[in-house]
């Protein structure tokens, strides 16, 4: 075990350098927040990344190679991750003197592995759907009998947005799902949860222990992808309080630093179960750029630098974010709908600079703010649709 140097302060740099492992839209928007404050940004990406282009030094390299990671980290004040798949665990043992890494590799590893994540949250006494880590089909069948059908099969690693997941309504479907998805270490089997709503809470937490919580938001999925986020969620205040309590405890259980997102299921009786965590800025927090006094991206940067955190409060009563998802395959994004979308009053359009459009790919998002939730939602959806239809 290498000594943990992730908290070592750096004094030799007068302008902090933020290293980001990854170069998608989350890294892009994190970089924009850092650049606005006059900081420097450097990306390490395994292959050329459009979204990071033009926002700092972009290094393309084999990021599973410790030497590549060490050289990248050299001169960074702090290195952070854009995704739970980023090799924080490879970097940590070779972290240069004077460079911090936040979140810790251990936090990233726990969250990356859905089995470990569930076990850790269960140990902390947090509410979760019933789950079992099943090494064999027989164990999965036994778990399904115990929970009752339907059950959800999930790969421990690499499952997201519906990929690597399978909902089995019958023993036959379970068999088919197992054969399709199971890896060496088997699969996670989870009781299917009859939720009424999905909620999310973002927590910004600094190594020094400072913590701020963003409003509880409602998130609407479409085809297993985040489609719309409304802040705040129109829910019972007691449910909102409980969501915040659970989110805070979950983030502390995995020792999250920076932004950690906590996704929750709200059940018919108002109970909450944790769906999953993400150790980084999150799609459910894009609305914070215009919606809150301090965006999730700025607070992520501030947290990983161990700087004071900013207010997560809403600037207006309501903010709604709608994703702009690709609807076809193209290497020439068509921005024809953008000018028309900008006619929509009170919306901000974010496009991520990706040159390859694919069905369902996150190409950008729109945020609207205001007072009347229906009106705000309508404006955000209308503007996003005007862009997506041509893209």
- Given the rule CB under 8 A, which residues bind its own copies? 14-16, 32, 35-41, 54-57, 293, 302, 305, 307-308, 310-311, 315-316, 332-335, 338-340, 342-343, 345-346, 348-353, 355, 364, 369
Closer Cβ to its own copies, 270 or 339, answer by number = 339
Q: Minimum Å distance from CB 33 to its own copies?
A: 10
Closer Cβ to its own copies, 18 or 126, answer by number = 18
Q: Minimum Å distance from CB 37 to its own copies?
A: 5
Nearest to 134 by CA among 82, 204, 173, 185: 185
Q: Minimum Å distance from CB 150 to its own copies?
A: 40
Closer Cβ to its own copies, 171 or 339, answer by number = 339
Nearest to 161 by CA among 224, 227, 228: 224
Q: Minimum Å distance from CB 343 to its own copies?
A: 4
Closer Cβ to its own copies, 66 or 310, answer by number = 310
Nearest to 72 by CA among 116, 41, 112, 29: 41
3-state secondary structure 200-222: EEEEEECCCCCEEECCCEEEEEE
Q: How many CB atoms lie within 10 A of CB 141?
A: 17
Q: Minimum Å distance from CB 158 to its own copies?
A: 28
Cα separation of 138 and 31, whole Å? 47
**CB 218 within 8 Å of CB 197:** yes
Cα separation of 264 and 248, whole Å? 12
**CB 284 within 8 Å of CB 229:** yes
Q: Minimum Å distance from CB 57 to its own copies?
A: 7
User: What is 68-94 written as a DSSP string?
Assistant: HHHHHHTT-SEEEESSTTS-HHHHGGG
């Amino acid at each position: 075990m290498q000594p943990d140097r992730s908290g070592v302060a750096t004094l030799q740099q007068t302008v902090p350098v933020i290293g980001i492992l990854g170069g998608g839209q989350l890294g892009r928007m994190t970089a924009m927040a850092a650049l606005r404050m006059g900081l420097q940004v450097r990306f390490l990406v395994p292959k050329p990344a459009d979204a990071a282009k033009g926002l700092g030094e972009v290094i393309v390299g084999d990021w599973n190679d410790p030497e590549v990671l060490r050289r990248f980290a050299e001169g960074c004040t702090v290195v952070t991750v854009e995704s739970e798949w980023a090799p924080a665990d490879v970097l940590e043992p070779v972290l240069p003197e004077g460079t911090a890494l936040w979140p810790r590799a251990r936090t990233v590893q726990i969250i990356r592995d859905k089995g470990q994540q569930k076990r850790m949250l269960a140990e902390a006494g947090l509410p979760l759907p019933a789950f079992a880590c099943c090494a064999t089909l027989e164990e999965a069948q036994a778990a399904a009998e115990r929970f009752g059908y339907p059950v959800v099969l999930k790969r421990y690693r690499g499952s997201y947005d519906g990929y690597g997941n399978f909902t089995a309504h019958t023993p036959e479907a379970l068999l088919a799902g197992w054969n399709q998805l199971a890896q060496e270490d088997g699969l996670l089997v989870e009781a299917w949860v009859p939720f009424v709503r999905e909620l999310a809470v973002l927590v910004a937490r600094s190594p020094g222990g400072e913590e701020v919580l963003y409003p509880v938001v409602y998130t609407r999925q479409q085809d297993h992808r985040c489609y719309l986020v409304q802040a705040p969620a129109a829910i019972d205040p007691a449910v909102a309080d409980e969501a915040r309590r659970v989110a805070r405890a979950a983030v502390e259980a995995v020792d999250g630093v920076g932004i950690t997102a906590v996704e929750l299921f709200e059940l018919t009786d108002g109970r909450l179960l944790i769906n999953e965590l993400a150790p980084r800025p999150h799609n459910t927090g894009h609305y914070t750029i215009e919606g809150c006094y301090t965006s999730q991206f700025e607070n992520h940067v501030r947290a990983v630098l161990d700087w004071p955190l900013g207010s997560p409060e809403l600037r207006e009563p309501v903010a709604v974010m709608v994703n702009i998802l690709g609807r076809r395959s193209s290497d020439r994004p068509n921005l024809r709908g953008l000018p028309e979308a900008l006619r929509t009053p009170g919306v901000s359009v974010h496009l991520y600079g990706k040159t390859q459009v694919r069905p369902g790919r996150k190409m950008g998002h729109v945020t609207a703010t205001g007072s009347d939730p229906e009106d705000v939602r309508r404006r955000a959806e209308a503007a996003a649709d005007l862009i997506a239809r041509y893209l």
